Amino acid sequence: MDFELSEDQRAIEQMADSLFVDYCDDDAMRKWDTSGEPMMAPLWALCRETGLHALAIAEADGGSGLGMTELMLVLQAQGRGLGQVPLWRHQLAAATLGRFASGEYAAWIEAAASGEALLSLSLDGVNAANGITLHATPNGATWQVDGRVAALPLAVQSGAALVPVLLHGQPRLMLLELQSPCVQFTPAVMTHGEAVADVQVEGLSVSHLLPVGALDWLEPRAIAAVAALQLGVSEEQIRRTVAYVSERQQFERRIGSFQAVQMSMADARIALEALRSTLWQLCYRLDAGLPAPSEALATAWQACEAGHRIGHVAQHVHGGIGVDLTYPIHRFLYWSRALGLALGGSAVCLERLGDWLSDNDKLGWKYDLEEHQAL
């Protein structure tokens, strides 16, 4: 089996690394903390210029037509740099529309692929304790939509957003056009700096909802995207923490030489590699067109667990300097916690995985093969 990246994939990875490393240095991040801007507009312009904003959008719709593996590599680089740009939401929203509703939303897809319009996306209601709070009711040939979408990323800055809505108790996806007079915003900022807004919808008439299969197609890809960001954030947390403990001295010894510190960092590394292996398997299966419901839920759980463990180990090992906001390590903890919450948290992911296992008696790679191949 060949686990090496192709030349094109390596080129995409190197370009993304260079882009985020050059733009997201610590000085730039300190300025960003006090800028009050909703996103890194110059960095987003560079993403559009290099085509990173449309990797996963089909070629027929104006994108690059690449898969989750390529997007994963870019998102890892974004996570390492903490680049505040809507890379995965924008293009996965456009890719979903292109696959399931290209005729109805061709203008939005084309504008998203060119970068002229910004699309947002939120699946938080799928995992939230209070469930999906946006409801659609039949109204002749259309649907009337009422309710609320909590903490929609870049809601004020986006032209439209792909969000879940309940129709007869079943979740469906709909494109919510955010400039409608039926839509009201309550803006806020997440702890890690992401601009969001609670969106209140009253009496909105929509003519199209995406088919039931659209959510099943989008959710594992959204999980893979968030997990890829978590992997990048966690990698950089570990790298910076190792550099710190290799220099910081206590009792006339480098603290990295203490057994307790070494064991903590080893546990963090194991959690990182567990996340990496599950994420790579998930992206492979998605790109190969194989079903991946359990793999997605396992990856989500690993991302929550790894983010929590690595984030807190890094803070603990840094000691007092870890809580100094002029020192950069706190930003990575904010991001890792926010990404874990975006996935619903460990308990929710594990509960959903348990429910899936209770309903399915086949699990593992061999069930994708013909009987004679699985021996």
* Residue 375 pLDDT exceeds 50: no
Looking at residue 4, what is its pLDDT? 85
The answer to whether residues 166 and 226 belong to one domain is no
* Residue 371 pLDDT exceeds 60: no
- Return the exposure string of 35-65: e unless at least 16 CB atoms fall within 10 Å of the residue's CB, then b: eeebbbeebbebbbeebbbbbbbbeebbbbe
Looking at residue 202, what is its pLDDT? 97
The answer to whether residues 226 and 359 belong to one domain is yes
Looking at residue 365, what is its pLDDT? 56
The answer to whether residues 197 and 229 belong to one domain is no
**87-100 helix and 68-81 helix, angle to the nearest 10 degrees:** 160
The answer to whether residues 253 and 198 belong to one domain is no
Looking at residue 149, what is its pLDDT? 96
Looking at residue 360, what is its pLDDT? 83
* Rounded Cα gap, residues 23 and 42, in angstroms: 9
| Per-residue pLDDT tens over the stretch 231-258 | 999 999 999 999 999 988 788 888 888 8
Which residues on neighbouring strands pair with residue 98, listed in sequence order?
none
> Do residues 174 and 120 make contact, with C-beta atoms less than 8 angstroms apart?
no
Looking at residue 372, what is its pLDDT? 57
> Do residues 62 and 215 make contact, with C-beta atoms less than 8 angstroms apart?
no
* Residue 363 pLDDT exceeds 70: no
Tell me the whole-structure pTM to 2 decimals: 0.94
Looking at residue 321, what is its pLDDT? 83
Domain end among 194, 210, 226? 210
Strands 183-189 and 195-206: antiparallel
| Per-residue pLDDT tens over the stretch 97-132 | 999 998 889 999 999 999 999 999 999 888 887 889
Domain end among 149, 184, 210? 210
CATH number, domain with residue 235: 1.20.140.10
| Per-residue pLDDT tens over the stretch 13-34 | 999 999 999 999 999 999 998 9
**What is the percent of the chain with per-residue pLDDT over 90, rounded to a whole number?**
82
| Per-residue pLDDT tens over the stretch 149-168 | 999 999 999 999 999 999 99
* Rounded Cα gap, residues 156 and 49, in angstroms: 23
* Residue 374 pLDDT exceeds 60: no
The answer to whether residues 270 and 169 belong to one domain is no
Q: Which one is predicted more confidently, 361 or 337?
A: 337
- The region, left, alpha or beta by phi > 0 then psi within -120 to 50, assigned to residue 144 is beta
- For 33-53, give the DSSP string: HTT--SS-HHHHHHHHHHTGG
- For 327-364, give the DSSP string: STHHHHHHHHHHHHHHTT-HHHHHHHHHHHHHH----S
The answer to whether residues 206 and 221 belong to one domain is no
The answer to whether residues 275 and 195 belong to one domain is no
The answer to whether residues 204 and 61 belong to one domain is no
Token output for 122: 């939120």
Looking at residue 367, what is its pLDDT? 61
The answer to whether residues 124 and 62 belong to one domain is no
The answer to whether residues 260 and 351 belong to one domain is yes
Domain end among 51, 86, 114? 114
| Per-residue pLDDT tens over the stretch 190-199 | 999 999 999 9
Going 119 to 33 to 325 to 250, the CA torsion angle's sign is: positive
State the residue range of the domain holding 305: 214-366
Residues 6+ apart with CB under 8 A from 335: 79, 82, 192, 229, 233
Q: What share of the chain is helix, strand, coil (3-state, %, to 5)?
A: 55, 15, 25
Token output for 345: 């948290």
The answer to whether residues 198 and 162 belong to one domain is yes
pLDDT category of residue 181 using cuts at 50, 70 and 90: very high
CB half-sphere exposure, 191, CA atoms < 13 A: 14
User: 3-class DSSP state for residue 55?
Assistant: coil
The answer to whether residues 222 and 356 belong to one domain is yes
Looking at residue 305, what is its pLDDT? 97
As for how many domains the chain has, the answer is 3
> Do residues 295 and 281 make contact, with C-beta atoms less than 8 angstroms apart?
yes
> Do residues 245 and 317 make contact, with C-beta atoms less than 8 angstroms apart?
yes
Q: Which run of H or of E encompasses 218?
A: helix 213-245
Looking at residue 359, what is its pLDDT? 87
Q: Which run of H or of E encompasses 310?
A: helix 293-318
Please report, as a single letter, which amino acid is at residue 14. Answer: Q
Backbone phi and psi for residue 120, each to the nearest 5 degrees, phi listed first = -115, 175
Looking at residue 127, what is its pLDDT? 83
Looking at residue 1, what is its pLDDT? 56
Token output for 294: 């359990």
Residues 6+ apart with CB under 8 A from 99: 58, 214, 217
* Residue 369 pLDDT exceeds 80: no
* Residue 42 pLDDT exceeds 70: yes
* Residue 324 pLDDT exceeds 90: no
Q: Average pLDDT, stretch 67-78?
A: 98
